[in-house]
Structure 1
Amino acid sequence: MEEAPGEVETKVSEEAPSSNGSEVHLKPEELVAKAIAPVKREFLRPPPLRPCSNDAVNGEPVVNKKVVPSNVVTGKKSRRQLKRERQQERKSASHICPEVAKTGNVSSCRFGGNCRFSHDVEAFKAQKPADLDGDCPFSALEGPCPYGLACRFSSTHKDGFPADSLNAQKKSSEINGLSKDLQKLLWKNKVNFPMADAQLKLLGLLGNGNAKKKNLEPHKEEGDQAVLNGSHIGENNDGEIAYDSVEKVDCPQRAKEVEDHVGDSIALDLRPSKKAKTPLIEKCCSSEVESSGLNLQEKEFERSLIQAELETTPSDNCLAETDMCLKAHPREKKLIDFRGKLYLAPLTTVGNLPFRRVCKMLGADITCGEMAMCTNLLQGQASEWALLRRHSSEDLFGVQICGAYPDTVARTVELINRECTVDFIDINMGCPIDIVVNKGAGSALLTKPLRMKNVIQATSGTVDKPITVKVRTGYFEGRNRIDSLIADIGNWGAAAITIHGRSRQQRYSKLADWDYIYQCARKAPDVLHVLGNGDVFSYLDWNKHISDCAELSTCIVARGSLIKPWIFTEIKEQRHWDISSGERLDILRDFIHFGLEHWGSDTKGVETTRHFLLEWLSYTCRYIPVGLLDIIPQRLNWRPPSYFGRNDLETLMASDSAADWIRISEMLLGKVPSGFTFAPKHKSNAYDRAENG
């Protein structure tokens, strides 16, 4: 049952206002000139009192003259500490075996005494936290809850359903999962990429010979610099860099094996992992398959892959004749009309599947998954493949991938096209994160136009899905380069390009340069859709950008959707929505419901949902209700002062303290567990104050 906003008992943590006392008396226009939100004077509150020492206040530690609650952390835990905590958790009674929890029968686990999880049902029940209010998120489906005793809504469960009926229902709502059989083949580098390799060979990126890779970096950098200075890339492939050196063995049936990749495909995994290797071509003889040491189910899956590849892969003798026919004609490719559609940008961490469902419910037309690293996908990492998952409500859905080299990206595109259901594949060439850029991916590709060309041509010629590209204006501030490449990008095979109106060096500071986006859109060929990105925060922003440049297909909504996801409703209804705190809480409730369906209704799923809710609240606190502003609409770069809301809940939602975000999560997901800590992952440099406490 929903609590009335006025009845919510809250105690908003004291936080530093972004404007000092002298700015309170400024006129609204003067505040806007200083990028301070012009909140009506009657809602402003005076700056809170500050402790003058670093001593503890009411038992809580003080950091930089701020009271930091005990459940708010000021730093991240090390990987070793997190691993130790996971190992200790598995040994505890709280980590019950999933099969035992689902059925309530200890003998249902096929591992028996060798299971790494606990089988003590009574001990689990004794320490299990109290059930949460509400119904189980899986109660509407025909079947039992897949989490059984571990579900935090187990008191609402109904008995008498077959044990496997829910799995089919759950699979129908979410697709693009990674099967165990495919994951094992990826681990062992035994997946074939015939279309990608044929296209790479056609482009001269796969060599025929035993020669080792030559050091052609000086030549490549010379060509890149020529393009950066304004000249265009020629259509011939002379002088292109051969990233691979592969020996092919002529055989009437098929090439038996290729050498390991020379080493250009570098792993961009942000976590420690085994070194990425290029997959080996499978051997066709049944005796070799039998001796591979695979179990029966895996052998059958492997044989089916081999049979499918044998039917679609051209032989070496006729490869030369069919190379020119491999690339689909532009008219044969599936096309997407982006014009006028509301596109939710791929957003790291917060742009998860439950959040995208919320945005679809509020009017988004196109959704795109979070950026996934190519090398991690080729390694079969389940956490990376989870970023490709799609809900049935996402009727126009794409995935975004990031890689440094054409062979890695092309093989990833073929794998996604083969295993997933997507409408388009977006290649990120604008990510500014250091660990990505230092590996040659993301924004680093903006300094290497020849490699950009190879990546786009290799991927667009491998699959018939539309290939889109996301870029920034350039790498360095004041040195925009995309306008000199925009015509070539269309000729290389990209169906659309998203231009974020900032450079890599600029990150998210200053406003986006929409005049430059318009300039690029006017230079683009007719076959290339141009999508603008940057600071779209109201329907007026949307209308202005669309009307100012007829060549612009649409505008992408990114951070604006994190702060107010109802922006899609505002654009479609052409109004400023003075949304109430109760309506905002209902949106958070929908996210919680979608999150429990996606991450699970057991304790682990509840806390995962809470974590992503808190990450999202670190953005929503920046929203200022329309009724509190002297000038509307709110701009994305405005710093909100310290103010009171129109009721207690609205005041709580305006707090930028992590302690208050935790209080909001407890209203929806119950009390946090003992020892709970949270530190927001993202900290925007567009705001002066710290977000954590």
Structure 2
Amino acid sequence: MSTAFPPGTAPVKAQYVVSLQNQTLPDDDAAEGNTNHVSLIRVTEEDGDDDSKAPTQGEKPRMSGAQRKKLARDEKKKRRGQNKGRRFQKMREELDLCWKVAAGETCEFGSECRFTHNVGEYLSAKPRDVKFPAVSELSTEPPFVIPGDAGAVANQVAETQSSLDPTTMCTVHSETGKCRHGFKCRFLGAHVEAVGNGFSDELSLIVDGEKAAHAAVSATELNFVDPDVRKQLRTRKYPRPVSDAYLKEIQQSPDTKDEEILETPEEAGAGFEALTSRDIGMSQTDTPDTPMRFVEKKRLHWSGKTYLAPLTTVGNLPFRRLCISLGADITCGEMGLATSFLAGSKEEWSLVRRHPSEGIFGVQLAGNKPSTLVPAAEAIARECGQNVDFVDLNCGCPIDLVFKSGSGSALLDAPGKLGKILTGMNRALGEVPVTIKLRAGVKDGRNTAHKLMPRIASEWGVGCMTLHGRTRQQRYQKLADWDYIKECVAAVRAKEADSNLPPIPIFGGGDAFSSQDYWEKVEYSGVDGVMVARGALIKPWIFTEIKERREWDISSKERLELIRRFAEYGLSHFGTDTAGLNTTRRYLCEALSFQYRYVPIGLLEYLPSKINDRPPAYRGRDELETLLASPDSRDWVKISEVFLGPAPEAWTFVPKHRSNAYESQG
């Protein structure tokens, strides 16, 4: 018998429903404003949670009907939105071992080094190794791990150091044959052996030379930018001949407005004096007097490919690896600010990092003027051009701090400026194609993409366009308008036919949450594919569903195996030392803050499920499935402890969505 649910409620079968009261739906609109760029975060008193304003226990103030309605609205508003004051500090050990010594090398500073060189003393103070369970050891019942056979644990290494656990596995050593963290690794027992008489200072690190040689090609991350390059950028000595020539050209153009250029050509060209021998051998595509013609760009053959959207904070390299393993074909790094790239920000340049498994990889830039976006594109092309397949211009970000600066979706209302930006980026990037992500428009009822997209395709040489079927003002309040996406695709195809231009890939975006959703949207609108964002955050296995054209009733154990895979990728990227382990924990909890919203399709009365449906309080088919559905952030930390060991007492996780923070206080 079906349960009577109000509209917008996920149709969970009656036998699994605990309460008909809907769970609070996280506010994706407001939480989208929380980025990983500290410079963008502004914390005000009204953003915080002021407990002093709450009535004392037992107090029942007398209020009118209007006052009660206002209080209800204020309480609802308080529970929505984002936690803007989130800060995550690195967890460090009390006694810190020198990195050189930890890796089995000699420290050039000797006794003057500010870190300890005494391996035995360090290991005595080091916490016990973390046990990383194998897939076969996972269980659907608490504590969700079946202990393995520990009969062979009592060996020489275990007797030498009580902090070592030879039964654990180091994901980095397993993948690459060598752990770069050496003795600092929290899974040290997996790759250390005792030599000599077995004293602690005679432990030896195990290296698998054959596997290390293979991993140098297949597993080493790409696009590491040298600190000297970042210093050149920071001190404005980085050469950018293509950008400087282009900016001078458009400044002299009569249709250029003053506010479109932040710098004079002289200021922008300060890097010419820093030209080195490295620059003399630049290819013709880097030379300003021979600009790349758009027809010479690499063409993007993306029809039928699956595309993971660039996702701020959560779209990190380990998450992208997870989605690649599940069927994603195209990935794009998190949105980076052009000004931060030009300032040599270490954090910003880390966003271009690519794993070899990412077959088609791009970098997304956000900015508001040619004078920042074009030089940033040139720097990316010079430093990472061989390992970047496209550079995406963000014209869709709706958050206030980006929009009010003239970036993101604000560029939709500045087509003249946008044209100069795209033309300049095309010149600066050489053969690397420029793509663009747009929204339907800025204000509701004033869609503009159908006028803008044909110009982008025919005049400004873009290699691919992605259209999110919502306006900037609308955010996620309503479903995406796929009728309008269809209209825009038709407008672009008509313009291409009139101008005798080859068609470029067009992707749509908005609300794809199942294989059925995906393919219906593709067939209806005529797009080459759908860029998947929230759907991938909530269920990363959506790419498998799309590829296999089926709905996957994934079990709780299979979901736990994917969480384990994410933890493995996180340790490989962030590191297996204490700091890296807890950074992995942080981003794992970020991922779980979306994945708990998945309602298993085996619990639903009918399909397909909708991304904005709010589930009632329900229990799963086993204890693990119930735990994975918990909106309490403390439970996400509990899940992380299955793979990363107990969280340090000083470590806390503040969810991006404020509603979860309130749940965790209950």
- Give the TM-score, by structure 2 length: 0.76
- Pair 1:473-2:440 in alignment: yes
Q: Label 1:168 to 1:414 Cα distance change in 2 as closer, same or farther (>3 A).
A: farther
Q: Which residue of 1 aligns with 2:401?
A: 435
CA distance in structure 1 between the aligned counterparts of 2:178 and 2:352, rounded to whole angstroms: 27
Please state how far the C-alpha of 1:554 moved relative to its aligned partner. Answer: 1.2
Deviations 1:414-452 (A, max 9, x none): 111111111111010111122222222111212212111
CA distance in structure 2 between the aligned counterparts of 1:612 and 1:428, rounded to whole angstroms: 24
Q: Which residue of 2 aligns with 1:615?
A: 590
Q: Which residue of 1 aligns with 2:292?
A: 327
Cα RMSD, aligned residues only? 3.1
Q: From 535, 554, 557, give the equivalent of 1:579.
A: 554
Q: Which residue of 1 aligns with 2:271?
A: 280
CA distance in structure 2 between the aligned counterparts of 1:142 and 1:427, rounded to whole angstroms: 35
CA distance in structure 1 between the aligned counterparts of 2:512 and 2:662, rounded to whole angstroms: 23
CA distance in structure 1 between the aligned counterparts of 2:263 and 2:237, rounded to whole angstroms: 17
Q: From 521, 531, 545, give the equivalent of 2:489.
A: 521
Q: Which residue of 2 aligns with 1:61?
A: none
CA distance in structure 1 between the aligned counterparts of 2:577 and 2:223, rounded to whole angstroms: 23
- Pair 1:394-2:371 in alignment: no
1:333-412 to structure 2, matched below 5 A, reads 333-412=297-376
Q: Label 1:532 to 1:313 Cα distance change in 2 as closer, same or farther (>3 A).
A: closer
- Maintained 8 Å contact 1:194/1:309: no
CA distance in structure 2 between the aligned counterparts of 1:461 and 1:310, rounded to whole angstroms: 13
Q: Which residue of 1 aligns with 2:123?
A: 125
Please state how far the C-alpha of 1:124 moved relative to its aligned partner. Answer: 3.1
Deviations 1:265-317 (A, max 9, x none): xxxxxxxxxxxxx7521256xxxxxxxxxxxxxxxxxx333433598776xxx
Q: From 161, 174, 179, give the equivalent of 2:226.
A: 179
Q: Label 1:198 to 1:259 Cα distance change in 2 as closer, same or farther (>3 A).
A: closer
SS of 2:576's partner is coil
Q: Label 1:439 to 1:164 Cα distance change in 2 as closer, same or farther (>3 A).
A: farther
Q: Which residue of 2 aligns with 1:423?
A: 389
- Pair 1:308-2:281 in alignment: yes
- Maintained 8 Å contact 2:170/2:187: yes
Q: From 491, 495, 499, give the equivalent of 2:463.
A: 495
> Aligned partner of 1:548: which letter?
Y
CA distance in structure 1 between the aligned counterparts of 2:118 and 2:418, rounded to whole angstroms: 56
Q: Which residue of 1 aligns with 2:523?
A: 547
SS of 1:469's partner is strand
Q: Label 1:513 to 1:75 Cα distance change in 2 as closer, same or farther (>3 A).
A: closer
CA distance in structure 2 between the aligned counterparts of 1:168 and 1:185, rounded to whole angstroms: 34
SS of 2:558's partner is helix
Structure 2 unaligned segments of length 5 or more: list them.
Answer: 22-53, 59-71, 73-81, 132-167, 193-203, 497-502
SS of 1:425's partner is strand
CA distance in structure 1 between the aligned counterparts of 2:388 and 2:115, rounded to whole angstroms: 36
- Pair 1:484-2:484 in alignment: no
Q: Which residue of 1 aligns with 2:100?
A: 99
> Aligned partner of 2:329: which letter?
D
Q: Label 1:143 to 1:444 Cα distance change in 2 as closer, same or farther (>3 A).
A: same
SS of 1:468's partner is strand
Q: Label 1:642 to 1:621 Cα distance change in 2 as closer, same or farther (>3 A).
A: same
> Aligned partner of 1:150: which letter?
K
- Maintained 8 Å contact 1:405/1:451: yes
- Maintained 8 Å contact 1:93/1:124: no
Please state how far the C-alpha of 1:196 moved relative to its aligned partner. Answer: 2.4
Q: How many residues align?
A: 550
- Pair 1:601-2:576 in alignment: yes
CA distance in structure 2 between the aligned counterparts of 1:666 and 1:606, rounded to whole angstroms: 11
Deviations 1:550-580 (A, max 9, x none): 3x12111110001111111111111111110
CA distance in structure 2 between the aligned counterparts of 1:467 and 1:125, rounded to whole angstroms: 51
CA distance in structure 1 between the aligned counterparts of 2:662 and 2:516, rounded to whole angstroms: 28
Please state how far the C-alpha of 1:458 moved relative to its aligned partner. Answer: 1.0
Taking every aligned residue pair, what percent have the same amino acid on both sides? Answer: 41
Q: From 430, 439, 445, give the equivalent of 2:411.
A: 445
CA distance in structure 1 between the aligned counterparts of 2:17 and 2:247, rounded to whole angstroms: 62
Please state how far the C-alpha of 1:691 moved relative to its aligned partner. Answer: 7.3
Runs (4+) of structure 1 moved beyond 6 Å? Answer: 52-56, 162-165, 310-313
- Pair 1:241-2:232 in alignment: no
> Aligned partner of 2:392: which letter?
D
SS of 2:485's partner is helix
Deviations 1:65-108 (A, max 9, x none): xxxxxxxxx967687xx7xx76xx77x634332222222x7xx3
> Aligned partner of 2:255: which letter?
G
CA distance in structure 1 between the aligned counterparts of 2:375 and 2:233, rounded to whole angstroms: 12
- Maintained 8 Å contact 2:9/2:614: yes
Please state how far the C-alpha of 1:126 moved relative to its aligned partner. Answer: 3.3
> Aligned partner of 1:354: which letter?
P
- Pair 1:460-2:420 in alignment: no
CA distance in structure 2 between the aligned counterparts of 1:245 and 1:364, rounded to whole angstroms: 39
- Using the TM superposition, name which of 564-573 and 190-199 deviates more: 190-199
Q: Label 1:435 to 1:143 Cα distance change in 2 as closer, same or farther (>3 A).
A: same
Q: From 551, 559, 564, give the equivalent of 1:589.
A: 564
- Maintained 8 Å contact 2:507/2:528: yes
Please state how far the C-alpha of 1:362 moved relative to its aligned partner. Answer: 0.7
Please state how far the C-alpha of 1:549 moved relative to its aligned partner. Answer: 2.3
CA distance in structure 2 between the aligned counterparts of 1:413 and 1:369, rounded to whole angstroms: 14
Q: Label 1:478 to 1:117 Cα distance change in 2 as closer, same or farther (>3 A).
A: farther
Q: Label 1:408 to 1:42 Cα distance change in 2 as closer, same or farther (>3 A).
A: same
Structure 1 unaligned segments of length 5 or more: list them.
Answer: 1-23, 57-63, 65-73, 208-236, 248-257, 262-277, 285-302
Deviations 1:631-666 (A, max 9, x none): 211100001110010000000001111011111111
- Using the TM superposition, name which of 472-481 and 626-635 deviates more: 472-481
Q: Which residue of 1 aligns with 2:622?
A: 647
